[in-house]
Structure 1
Amino acid sequence: MNDLSFTVPLWVWAAVTLVIAVMLAVDLVAHRDHHVIGFREAALWSGVWIAIGLAFGLVLLVWQGSEVSTTYYAGYLIEKALSIDNVFVFALVFSFFAVPDAYQHKVLFWGVVGALVFRLVFIFVGAELLQLFFWTAYLFGAFLIWTGYKMAVSKNEEIHPDRNIIVRLVKKVVPTDPRFHGGRFFTKTNGRRVATLLFVALVAIEATDLIFAVDSVAAILAITTNTFLVWTANAFAVLGLRSLYFCLAGLLRRFAYLHYGLAVLLAFAGVKLILSETPVGKLPIPLTLGVIVATITVSIAWSLIATRGQNGDTDGDSDGHIPAGTDKTANAGPASGGPGPHRPEAPS
């Protein structure tokens, strides 16, 4: 599978990874007081993360030229678009477990750390498979087309985070207290160390991250198998996932048709990957970027026009934030089995 090839020194890999780690640390320190994140603060942080992601594309433009930069932007945009679907599921998980607003950022922070680790592993494994075995392009392509189809037709299926096999396994192996103990993942009850409900919610988030990582990495590998570009596009897109959640949590109903656009993008990525191993060859990157931008724009515009007049959040506070556990949040996801019963918070 022919692709972009340029040498990335080890120190560049180390420097970029260090920058990502520093940004994660800054974000953690900035929100260490467990305050409720409102729309304005989330919008500001989202702007910062997007600006950083776009700025890195300019660095690539100066360093390696327009083809590399355009490829990065195509990957970044498709990852950013797919991350919106994560937001829908995160809203459902938080609503189901009735996670207090003040602790949601902590769960998302560690969820993003897990997402970065999952993606890094999948990127190197997936890229290596595509380089070694040409037929994996057909396999990954078919998987993306099937995933796109399922996304388009399965939005009314109920999702139950507590039935996830990973969540059930953890609850079976790790002693748990079905309450919140402040922002702690673990606490001591009757002299025994147990996991709190906040930890169970984190496991549910990580389990969904694992599934999303497979889809998103396969989609961007259809654009390029250059591991440096795939990793940086993934990382800079995922870094803003927490802020994106708090920006969109109260507006999810306004994106009623976005999943159709995401389904088209996944199917397009699958077709592109399959064609790369046929006489047609790889589709031009400018065409790919154009399809991504057009699909996202049309699906968002279609959603906003169709839901005009709906505020999306009539129960939130004046800052646009939805309290966890409300019906608005529960119904904001792609499918909802309804919020779970209110979980009491244990005394700190």
Structure 2
Amino acid sequence: MQHLGFPLYTIIIFILFVVAALFVDLVGHKNDKIMSLKSASLWSIFWVLVSVVFGVFLYYEHGGEMAKLFFAGYILEKSLSVDNLFVIMAIFTWFKIPQNYRHKVLYFGILGAIVFRLIFVAIGSGLFMLGSWMQIIFGLVVLYSAILMLKNNDSDDDEIEDYSNHLAYKLVYKYFSVFPKIVGHSFFINENTAQSELNKNPNLNFLDKKT
């Protein structure tokens, strides 16, 4: 019998797959180590196999048509992920994120993207409806990002010691308590840690929004 929607147990299994995948990925990369090409390839193969397993589950539970739709969507998303890879590389280059911290930044970035993707897709779709000229603007932004990434490629591994002059920091420090320096792999630090870093770096230009 065909259903217009998925039965509850399929949704639960899908959620369990996603949660388990996020947990495995976090535990598997909890150490700040630079990932080799071999390791990245093996992990990619593993995640493809996980997706295939879920597709096989859909085939046996909901028929070949449902499985075809899943694999068609999966292949499409895989193809579109090349664009995401380009943008991620541009962001890492702009912020000069050290190689050993990039996976953790990417991991939590993806968690945020799960929510914000829906928001920005809606915004982007609305902007495209304004006219085809919006595509030209988006294209120029991507082109500028590519030029910026290539220009800074030689110094990609150099960590920025002081972000206080970085455009991103200047845009947000008035609204959020941000610290202009990478402190290990921590996303959040307390006041004692911040003061300790300031004592070690007296020339650090820390602009607290509360001051």
TM-score class normalised by the smaller sequence: 0.5 to 0.7
Are 2:59 and 2:66, in contact at CA under 8 Å, matched by a contact in 1? yes
The corresponding residue for 2:37 is 39
The equivalences for 1:267-286 within 5 A come to none
Are 1:57 and 1:73, in contact at CA under 8 Å, matched by a contact in 2? yes
How far the C-alpha of 1:192 sits from its partner, in A, is 7.5
Task: Tell me the distance in 2 between the aligned counterparts of 1:192 and 1:67.
Answer: 55
The corresponding residue for 2:26 is 28
How far the C-alpha of 1:34 sits from its partner, in A, is 0.8
Are 1:186 and 1:193, in contact at CA under 8 Å, matched by a contact in 2? no
Distance verdict in 2 for CA 1:101–1:153, change over 3 Å: closer
Aligned identity (percent) is 30
Count residues with an aligned counterpart. 173
Instruction: Structure 1 unaligned segments of length 5 or more: list them.
Output: 127-138, 197-343
**3-state SS of the aligned residue for 2:186?**
coil
**3-state SS of the aligned residue for 1:6?**
coil
Q: Deviations over 1:266-300 (max 9, x none)?
A: xxxxxxxxxxxxxxxxxxxxxxxxxxxxxxxxxxx
**3-state SS of the aligned residue for 2:143?**
coil
How far the C-alpha of 1:149 sits from its partner, in A, is 4.6
Instruction: Structure 2 unaligned segments of length 5 or more: list them.
Output: 150-165, 198-203, 205-211
Task: Tell me the distance in 2 between the aligned counterparts of 1:71 and 1:151.
Answer: 33
Residue identity matched to 1:19: F
Task: Tell me the distance in 1 between the aligned counterparts of 2:85 and 2:116.
Answer: 18
Q: Deviations over 1:34-57 (max 9, x none)?
A: 111111101000011111112222
| TM-score of the aligned structures, taking structure 2 as reference length | 0.67
Residue identity matched to 2:75: L
The equivalences for 1:134-213 within 5 A come to 143=129, 146=132, 149-150=135-136, 153-154=139-140, 155-158=142-145, 170-188=172-190, 191=192
Residue identity matched to 2:178: T
Task: Tell me the distance in 1 between the aligned counterparts of 2:24 and 2:138.
Answer: 37
Match of 1:94 among 89, 92, 95: 92
| TM-score of the aligned structures, taking structure 1 as reference length | 0.42
Task: Tell me the distance in 2 between the aligned counterparts of 1:8 and 1:77.
Answer: 21
**What RMSD, in angstroms, separates the aligned Cα atoms of the two structures?**
3.6
Structure with greater contact order relative to length (CA < 8 Å, sep ≥ 6)? 1
Q: Rg bigger for which structure?
A: 2
Are 2:90 and 2:145, in contact at CA under 8 Å, matched by a contact in 1? no
Are residues 1:105 and 2:92 paired?
Answer: no
Q: Deviations over 1:272-329 (max 9, x none)?
A: xxxxxxxxxxxxxxxxxxxxxxxxxxxxxxxxxxxxxxxxxxxxxxxxxxxxxxxxxx
| Runs of 4+ residues over 6 Å off in structure 1 | 159-162
The corresponding residue for 2:78 is 80
**3-state SS of the aligned residue for 1:179?**
coil
Residue identity matched to 2:8: L
